A = this chain, B = another copy of it.
Amino acid sequence: MSTRSIDNLTARLNRLPGIGIKTAQRLAYHILDLDPDEVRGLAEALTDAKSRVHYCPVCGNYTEDELCSVCSDPKRDRSLICVVRDARDVSFMERMREFRGLYHVLGGTLSPMDGVGPDDIRISELLERVRGGEVKEVVLATNPDVEGEATAAYIAGKLKPMGIRTTRIAHGIPIGGNLEFVDEITLFKAMENRREV
């Protein structure tokens, strides 16, 4: 019994991840009560982000310029590359403000079940960058799930013969975590990677 525009807006909001039909309805009604400028601003933010943002041709990170802010920063260490699955993972890594190297976005992980092979993700581009000669270490920071581990192992197998130091981010108990709520595999990894204090 809502109007056509309200139903259309609700349906489109409902297609976003994590937005159920009740939340979509609540958002739609909220939007009707907003200032017209605020609604126009949100609509423009949507289309602007979609039209202006593209992938950095070097590393695959999001950018609005030719190169991304990491690749174009002269202060970054060009001998170190951190490999991640998605462009969004770059901003998650950058939040720690400690990593001073470059990135390489794969754009996916190997998944034979879903028909994703080595040629479907940006592995050859990584090897090409490494062949340039400047790179000394590659940190594999794919997620610690089956596909992420398989992808890391595959890339390590390609980089080792090239004489490149290849490392994997550590797995273990999250800081502030509680042994009670940590799964067995993480606990096993944490024990396996224990260090002298």
Contacts and interface: CB of A to CB of B under 8 A. Distances in A.
A77 interface: no
B1 A45 contact: no
Interface in A1-50: 1-6, 8-9, 12-13, 15-19, 23, 25-32, 34, 36, 38-50
A49 B43 CA distance: 11
25 contacts: A2-B91, A3-B53, A3-B62, A3-B69, A5-B48, A5-B49, A6-B62, A8-B45, A8-B48, A9-B45, A12-B42, A16-B30, A17-B26, A18-B26, A19-B27, A29-B88, A32-B49, A32-B50, A32-B62, A32-B87, A39-B46, A40-B47, A40-B50, A43-B43, A46-B46
Contacts of A12: 41-42, 45
A52 interface: yes
Given A5-B64, A6-B62, A62-B2, A17 B30 contact: yes
B63 A1 contact: no
A134 interface: no
Contacts of A42: 12-13, 46
Contacts of A94: 1
A73 to B, nearest CB: 10
B16 A36 contact: no
A69 B11 CA distance: 20
A90 B28 CA distance: 15
B8 A18 contact: no
Contacts of A63: 3
A104 B27 CA distance: 23
A70 interface: yes
Contact of A49 (B9, B26, B44): B9
Interface string A82-98: 00001110110011000
A43 B81 CA distance: 37
